[in-house]
Amino acid sequence: MRVLVDGYWWADGPISNRQVQREIIRHWVDLFDDELTMVVPHKALAGIDAPPGVTCVGTRLWPHGIASIVDYPRIARRVGADVAVVHNFTPWTGRSAVFVHDVMFQTNPEWFTLPERAYLALVPWTLGRADVVATSSQHEAERIAAHNRGIAPVVPIGLAVGTELASATPTRPAGVDVDEYVLSVGRLNVRKNLGRLFTAAARSGAITPTRPLLVVGEPEGARADLGPDVRDAVTSGAIRFLGRVDDGELAWLYGHAALFVYLSLDEGFGLPPVEALSFGSPVLAADIPVMRENLGPSAAYVDPYDVDAIAAALQAPPVTPAFVAPDWADVTRRLRAAVVSALAPQLA
């Protein structure tokens, strides 16, 4: 089978998009004998570190959604691809399988900026043209199907801990001078619910300058304002923002955390608590369906809207995790099986 694969974010771009593209492409070429051609931005073509056996071609169109919709069909025809495997944005013509991260912009537009909503509107506009629609969880598969009629059945394929993170040498981040801390990892936007977490942390008495809440992540999209009690906690060092850290530093933080807290209001999958459990950290997660689906009994849960309950949970003894981490090889096998099933008449 000849497959055009979407590598637009292979070298740079949103971390979640880049990780999914890299892991699926690497495992696909390792597991199967298909011919893979990877599309990347033309400006990155010369320095791309593609896996052996993967041919790279460039697209000059930007942004990613426009390139995928408009230019990928032309490239697929040129290389004789049987199918294009893409992310979020479906090529306008040709056989395709699209992995959709989530459609929360349809159910909760208030969590997104106006430019984000305008750009993401291209996702449902083209989704009906896909032969295969895949996503990360059953929860998200049901949401995509409920809000996008007339599309192919949505297949949940899962996500897993990134290869680089899993194999990284743990390295203590510079400036982390405490031995006990609570950890939060994720983009700093209103959906991640950090405002309630910070307020609860300030109230709880469990977060102090000597046992701080360490926050890993960068600002993105719509963000919540912080109250004076939270600003005081930041000033005292009880809440500390580490920004973006590398894989070795993140591995160290996960491995040494007294508790990992993830209170997002909703997710398509929610990878950070899966990562935390994989490194042995106890997890306190938002009591929402997708977290129950992915973490099961390995985490403790709390109502993400109840500040007092969050404060109490931060004081409670952590759950000792017993967790079997998902695997990227299985994720890739599920995606390819869905593609082969959809294209069976054509490939026969």
Note the pLDDT tens digit of each residue in 13-65. Answer: 788 889 999 999 999 999 999 999 999 999 999 989 999 999 999 999 999 99
The per-residue DSSP string of 186-237 comes to S-BSGGGTHHHHHHHHHHHSS-BTTB-EEEE--B-SS-----HHHHHHHHHT
| SS3 label, residue 262 | strand
Question: Do the domains 2-160+328-347 and 164-315 sit in the same CATH topology, yes or no?
Answer: yes
pTM: 0.94
CA atoms of 268 and 270, how far apart (whole Å):
6
Q: What is the pLDDT of residue 224?
A: 53
Dihedral angle sign, alpha carbons of residues 239, 250, 264, 9: positive
> pLDDT by residue (tens digit) across 271-295?
999 999 999 999 999 999 999 999 9
- Residue 42's Cβ-count burial label (10 Å; 0-12, 13-18, 19+) is middle
Q: Residue 309: which of 181, 200, 198 has the closest Cα?
A: 200
pLDDT at residue 261, as a whole number: 98
Q: What percent of the chain has pLDDT over 90?
A: 86
- pLDDT band, very low/low/confident/very high, at 223 (cuts 50, 70, 90): very low
- pLDDT tens for each residue of 114-146: 999 999 999 999 999 999 999 999 999 999 999
Whether residue 345 is preceded by a cis peptide bond, meaning omega within 30 degrees of 0, is: no
Domain range 164-315, its CATH number among 3.30.70.890, 3.40.50.2000, 3.40.190.10, 3.30.70.580: 3.40.50.2000
Could you read off the pLDDT of 60-111 as tens digits, one per residue? 999 999 999 999 999 999 999 999 999 999 999 999 999 999 999 999 999 9
Domain limits of the chain? 2-160+328-347, 164-315
DSSP-based helix, strand, coil % in the chain, nearest 5: 45, 20, 40
Report pLDDT for 196.
94
Place of tokens 């599920």: 334
Residue with token string 């590598």: 7
∠ Cα 124 129 133 (to 5°): 70
Is it the case that residue 215 has pLDDT exceeding 60? yes
What is the structure's pLDDT at 347? 64
Q: What is the pLDDT of residue 218?
A: 81
DSSP state of 316: S
How far apart are the C-alpha atoms of 4 and 35, rounded to whole Å? Answer: 8
When the candidates are 3.40.50.2000, 3.40.50.300, 3.40.50.1820, 3.30.9.10, the CATH number that belongs to 2-160+328-347 is: 3.40.50.2000
Q: Please state, rounded to an integer, the average pLDDT across all residues of the chain.
A: 94
